[in-house]
Amino acid sequence: MRPLVEVTGLEVHYPVGTLADRLRGRRPVFKAVDGVSFTVAKGETLGIVGESGSGKSTVARALLRFLEPTAGSVLFDGADVAGMDRAALRGFRRRAQMIFQDPVGALNPRHTVAACLDEVLQVHGRGGPAERAGRVAELMALVGLPPTLADRRPRALSGGQCQRVGIARALAVGPDLVIADEATAALDVSIQAQILNLLADLKGELGLTMVFISHNLGVVRHVCDRVAVMNAGRIVEIGATADVLDRPRQPYTQALVAAIPAMHGAAPSPTGAAILGTVI
Amino acid sequence: MPVLLSVRDLRIDIATPAGPLPVVDGVSFDVAEGEIMGLVGESGSGKTMIGRALLRLLPTRRARIAGGAMHFDGRDLARLDETAMTGVRGRDVTMIFQNPSSHLDPVMRVGDQVAETVMRRDGVGWRAARTRAGELFAEVGIAEPVRRLDAYPHELSGGMRQRVMIAAALACRPRLLVADEPTTALDVTVQKQILELLRTLRDRSGFAVILITHDLGVVAETCDSVGVLYAGRLVERGGCAGLLTRPLHPYTAGLVGSQPELAVPGRRLPAIPGQPPASDDLPPGCRFHPRCAHAEPTCTVGDIALETLPDGRAVACRRWPELAGAEVGA
């Protein structure tokens, strides 16, 4: 089966030269992404990990054509994303959605939860007002938001609730691919666990393909089938999650794995339920 | 080791139009000399408020210490006047923050900023202070320390800036260092270096550290003891290894269980349902009971005190003996 996403030789360079450089005829560039290739199969979750500045978010943005790559190609379901005209791009954006890191900042502070979701449906021309209202209620139920929150504004919600709205927005038009860029980084650990569970449920229920970008290897280990490790704009290692994180081959991945603070002694119980010695 | 800091029944109120709200309510703990104690909790649990209260750096117009005592070296920090407090702050007790960039002067060379502290603390001249600043830079692992003295904050990486902050803290020769999320803004590889540095410096200089963090992994790697805060109350306290491997309070257990690195990949995480209460809408009884799988009617009434066990562990849960016993019997 052909992969849903095929990225080949992706490069994103930014000019960093000063005027003096240009007068001397030099064009220095910063290589945010420097020759990245990978594929994502249908129904798969690919993790992209790396430290700040490794280029992982830039890859996500190039995937969705939020920015134009310097070189390389992104094929989505066989179609070249760079070559899409407006109509094709609109269809593509319906099928590929993004969940952002800052759940509060990603929402319009003046819109209620219902309006935030309705907006997405309107933009994509999904049905009349009544139909959309029904879909909004459906989406809220899907992501576990009680209907009483429909008239609240983001400010009146917790970070976890805002992220649920963000997820509902991404799912509103029934995408095939969801890119989650540090989707749980701003959340407290107990809320992060809820959101990770929600994403896992939704993925199973809706058959989503996901690209999961995170600096947190623990989170990536938990949710991803395969993982790509990025450093300085390149993928240094890619493979099945267990292979890469438990038996890293590259020195960089080894250093990254070794730096995860370990919970000494605490270990998963065979049932995968809580770890805890005595309480639960 | 003798007790350095003894906090008793600390209460911190935040002023709101509707009246004062207790954001920290009856928190007690001791820190021994040279001990690294972790204060863990989620956003709004009051951990940063406690750290700031220790240096009396609460935003004065909004928050105030409403009760309790903080005994440090025979003095109650909660009751010192501002002049006396100035003699403690930046001398015996000092603090480092999550975001070093916003606590360094952007238009002053970092070496001068540290030298300034040295001059004030040791009463030495500029030249000697600059020399000492160079030594401190070397001590916190800044490469080419003397050259770096002339750098401005923006020329340094986040990890380097945090090292500068630590150097400035060391210049105070503190007996207690309050570190508020010192590695949260850093990449994991840099985080590891900074945590190792804190432990090394503690071993060398013998100061105690209160490490405020939301990250149980950081606690496990760094701390000797840990206190777990929930909605302004300490729910459990004890030695680090025991508390994390054998939590007694259901909230601590839930926090440990929420760590994705400990879960079986692909399985659901045993998440804690719901969210922490708002400080103007605290539930009666145990503040965790609405989210607790083990809550019973008895958990919803009265004050639940922190009970200290013979091994030094303390837990604030009515049902802990039963819950612990259940597991032993199972």
**Structure confidence by residue, pLDDT tens digits, A65-89:** 999 999 999 999 999 999 999 999 9
The DSSP H or E segment spanning B305 is none
B-chain residues near A275 (CB < 8 A): 256-257, 262
B256 touches chain A (CB under 8 A): yes
A128 touches chain B (CB under 8 A): no
pLDDT by residue for chain B (330 residues), tens only, comes to: 899 999 999 999 998 888 889 999 999 999 999 999 999 998 889 999 999 999 999 887 789 999 999 999 889 999 999 999 998 998 999 999 988 888 999 999 999 999 999 999 999 999 999 999 999 999 999 999 999 999 999 999 989 999 999 999 999 999 999 999 999 888 888 899 999 999 999 999 999 999 999 999 899 999 999 999 999 999 999 999 889 988 999 999 999 888 887 777 777 888 888 888 888 889 999 999 999 989 999 999 988 989 999 888 999 999 988 887 544 322
Alpha helices in chain B (DSSP H): 47-54, 82-88, 110-122, 126-139, 145-148, 158-171, 188-205, 216-222, 240-245, 250-257, 320-329
DSSP code for A17: -
**CA separation for the pair A152, A150 (Å, rounded):** 6
CA dihedral sign, ordered A1, A9, A55, A87: negative
| Prediction ipTM score | 0.79
The DSSP H or E segment spanning A148 is none
**CA separation for the pair A89, B234 (Å, rounded):** 53
Query: Among B186, B259, B286, B319, which would you mutate to test the A interface (most chain A Cβ atoms within 10 Å of its Cβ)?
Result: B259
Residue of B nearest to A275 (CA): B257
Q: What pLDDT, on a 0 to 100 scale, did the predictor assign at position B328?
A: 30
Determine whether the interchain pair A277/B247 forms a contact, defined as Cβ–Cβ distance below 8 Å.
yes
Interface of B with A in 24-43 (CB under 8 A): 42-43
Closest CA of chain B from A169, distance in Å: 21
Determine whether the interchain pair B195/A261 forms a contact, defined as Cβ–Cβ distance below 8 Å.
yes
Among residues A84, A161, A271, the alpha carbon closest in space to that of B330 is found at A271
The DSSP H or E segment spanning A133 is helix A129-142
B288 touches chain A (CB under 8 A): no
B-chain residues near A278 (CB < 8 A): 246-248, 323-324, 327-328
Interface of B with A in 68-97 (CB under 8 A): none
Its pTM surpasses 0.80:
yes
Interface of B with A in 124-183 (CB under 8 A): none
Task: Report pLDDT digits (tens) over A88-123.
Answer: 998 999 999 999 988 888 899 999 999 999 999 998
Using CB atoms, pick whichever of B42, B217, B323 lies closest to residue A260.
B217
Query: Among A149, A219, A227, A276, which would you mutate to test the B interface (most chain B Cβ atoms within 10 Å of its Cβ)?
Result: A276
B-chain residues near A242 (CB < 8 A): 265
A-chain residues near B220 (CB < 8 A): 261-264, 266
Using CB atoms, pick whichever of B189, B252, B258 lies closest to residue A51.
B189
Task: Report pLDDT digits (tens) over A2-31.
Answer: 899 999 999 999 888 788 888 888 888 889
In chain A, what is the straight-line distance between the N-terminal and C-terminal CA atoms, in Å? 44
B-chain residues near A268 (CB < 8 A): 262-264
Among residues B201, B149, B197, the alpha carbon closest in space to that of B172 is found at B201
Using CB atoms, pick whichever of B191, B262, B272 lies closest to residue A268.
B262
| Residue entry with tokens 């600390």 | B10
B329 SS3 class:
helix
The DSSP H or E segment spanning A177 is strand A177-181
**CA separation for the pair B31, A268 (Å, rounded):** 31
Among residues A271, A221, A229, the alpha carbon closest in space to that of A246 is found at A221
**CA separation for the pair B124, B140 (Å, rounded):** 21
**CA separation for the pair B27, B39 (Å, rounded):** 11
Inter-residue contact A16 to A92 (CB < 8 Å): no
A-chain residues near B221 (CB < 8 A): 261-262, 264
Listed as own residue / partner, the contacts of B224-227 with beta carbons closer than 8 Å and 24 or more positions apart are: B224/B35, B224/B36, B224/B37, B225/B35, B225/B36, B225/B37, B225/B38, B226/B37, B226/B38, B226/B39, B226/B40, B227/B27, B227/B29, B227/B37, B227/B38, B227/B39, B227/B40
Q: What pLDDT, on a 0 to 100 scale, did the predictor assign at position A62?
A: 93
Determine whether the interchain pair A193/B188 forms a contact, defined as Cβ–Cβ distance below 8 Å.
no
| Encoded tokens for B322 | 């039963």
B-chain residues near A244 (CB < 8 A): none
> How do beta strands B75-76 and B307-308 pair?
unpaired
B269 touches chain A (CB under 8 A): yes
